[in-house]
Amino acid sequence: MRKYLLIGVSAFVLGAGAMAYVSPIAQANNAPKTKTYKMLELFGDVLGTVEDQYVTEVDDKKLIEAALDGMLTSLDPHSGYLSPDSYEDMQDTTRGEYGGLGLEVTSEDGVVKVISPMDGTPASRAGVQAGDYITAVNGQSVLGLTVNEAVKQMRGQPGEAVTLTIARDKTDPFDVKLVREVIKPKAAIARMEGDYGYVRLPGFNEKATDALVASINELKTKNPKMKGLILDLRNNPGGLLDQAVGVADVFLDGGEVVSQRGRDPRNIQRYNARPGDLLNGMKMVVLINQGSASAAEIVAGALQDRHRAELVGLTSFGKGSVQTVIPLRGGADGALKLTTARYFTPSGRSIQKTGIAPDLEVAQTRDQAQDIANRVWFSEASFKNALNADEGKTRVGVHTPAEAPPTAFDDKKGDFQLQRAIAVLNAGGVANTPKLPKPAAKVAEVTAKAAAAAAGKPVSENK
């Protein structure tokens, strides 16, 4: 509180001094503030009119909370106002335990959109996919609700049934019935894949780094001849920054992991790894896909830039912004989730919108390969009000991916991306890995025509 008071006093003193000597300039400087006060007065007028004339009685608290959230979400998709209940829910999530369905969601034009289902949760088992729209919960529309309001409807007592209405590309809307569970996403899942260790991180909650270290130590103890490691970050929606730095630190022998830069370009905060690599330089591959976001992208980008691991899979989500949670009155009035900076990899690459491109691009299924060739995949760049990417940089558009499962591969049962990661380890790197024939997926003709038209080339309708 004292800090805010000092800022206010300083502003008053500077303003008074300026008025004493150059009052015309002071009046010009005060003009933006005067405009702000008028707009706040307008807000009060609108609120009063709604209170007096709306068809039914209104809840002032809900109206003001909605206004606060609307103000913040207009800035970018990841800023928002958290009510006291939502703030408590967020704390439960980062601690790694809560009652719900296991979905990471966001909002797009007033519609709830799935970023990623979490492994081993009701949503994952029911087949909910990244990019799905949730239009109703238990038959009640969630269109136009804030993300926090929609999430509140999906969370609740374990054992209760919940019906989600899903809208998915190329299909009619359909209902999915789930049962709430106590969501305790495993901080790490570990096993051996032949000669190589495999560790999957479903998210970056408070337990991620410790669970990763414990898993690797257990794998090494039980398999002293382990030759390498596969770190699976697919469909990992991210989480806590300190855990992203901690996970990268496990594999890096000192040096930069990530930097963040705010409004002032001179204000750069760097996060470094400590000396010591738990694997002592053992070969590594990191699996990523379009559901790998935020903290997962920080780890993947750091290990790629530092030449500690090669990446296999698909270009990541592209969520390269930093959200600072600012409690209001100690959380009694909720909190602000405010975008305050952008992430940059050790080489200075911004993750925002463009994502992290793999060293070996591999579609998981033949259908996925065709989808990538037909349409732009859901990502950070899909949001209309997403922060801009680095100047001159754009996310890869529709294209035929480099690799996809051959016809003989059963992509319903097998994990093709994992198989290719093992092939990279066996070969000693992507450059030495025998490449597969280009997938049969073709870029849709309508897309090709649109690209040609945009380039000013003649387009034939007779093809």
* Cα–Cα dist 457/237, whole Å: 40
- Amino acid identity at 229: L
Known catalytic residue: 141? no
Q: What does the CA dihedral 168, 447, 455, 402 come to, rounded to 10 degrees?
A: 90
Angle between helices 241-251 and 208-222 in degrees, nearest 10: 20
- Amino acid identity at 298: I
Gyration radius of the chain over CA positions: 25
* Cα–Cα dist 11/219, whole Å: 59
The backbone region for 127, taken as left when phi is positive above 0, alpha when psi lies in -120 to 50, beta otherwise, is left
Known catalytic residue: 294? yes
Known catalytic residue: 35? no
User: Considering 113, 283, 319, 353, which one is annotated as catalytic?
Assistant: 319
Neighbours of 349 (CB within 10 A): 18
CA angle 351–130–396, rounded 5-degree value: 40
User: Considering 89, 249, 305, 371, which one is annotated as catalytic?
Assistant: 305
Long-range contacts of 273-277 (CB under 8 A, 24+ apart): 273/245, 273/248, 273/249, 274/249, 277/250, 277/251, 277/252, 277/253, 277/308
User: Considering 83, 116, 292, 294, which one is annotated as catalytic?
Assistant: 294
Active site residues: 294, 305, 319
